Amino acid sequence: TFTVSVKSPVSVQRGHTAILPCWLTFSESAEDMEVLWYQGSDQFGTPVLLYKARTLDYSSQKASYAGRASFGLKEETSGGLKAGDVSLKLENVTIEDAGKYICVVSSFDDSDSASISLTVTETGHQPLLSAVMRDDNKVNLSCQSDGWHPKPELSWSDSKTALIPGNVMFSKNSAGFYSVHSWVLVSSPSEVSCSVGLFNEEPKETRMRLENSLEIYNGCISWNYLLKFYFY
Q: Mean pLDDT over residues 209-213, rounded?
A: 70
161 vs 179, higher pLDDT: 179
* Backbone angle region of 176, left / alpha / beta, with phi > 0 → left and psi within -120 to 50 → alpha: left
Which residues are paired to 168 by β-bridges?
182
- What architecture does CATH give domain 4-121? Sandwich (2.60)
Residue 222 has a pLDDT of: 40
For 45, other C-beta atoms within 10 Å of its C-beta total 10
pLDDT band at 219 (very low <50, low <70, confident <90, very high): very low
**Higher pLDDT residue, 136 or 51?**
51
Q: What is the DSSP string of 4-18?
A: EEE---EEEETTS-E
pLDDT in tens, 59-102: 989 999 999 999 999 999 899 999 999 999 999 999 999 999 99
Length of the chain: 232
- Helix, strand and coil content of the chain, in percent to the nearest 5, comes to 5, 55, 40
Distance, in Å, from the CA atom of 143 to the CA atom of 126, rounded to the nearest integer, reads 10
pTM over 0.85: no
Cis peptide preceding 150, ω within 30 of 0 = yes
What is the reported pLDDT for 26? 83
Do domains 4-121 and 128-229 share one topology? The answer is yes
At 92-109, the pLDDT tens digits run 999 999 999 999 999 988
What proportion of the chain, given as a percentage, has pLDDT over 70? 88
The mean pLDDT value of the chain amounts to 88
128-229: CATH homologous superfamily? Immunoglobulins (2.60.40.10)
- What whole-number percentage of the chain has pLDDT above 90? 68
Reported confidence tier of residue 229, pLDDT bands at 50, 70, 90: low
Instruction: Report cis status (omega within 30 of 0) of the bond before 165.
Output: no
Domain boundaries, the chain: 4-121, 128-229
**127 pLDDT more than 60:** yes
Question: Strand 111-121 vs strand 10-13: parallel, antiparallel, or unpaired?
Answer: parallel
CA angle centred on 98, ends 101 and 114, rounded to 5°: 15
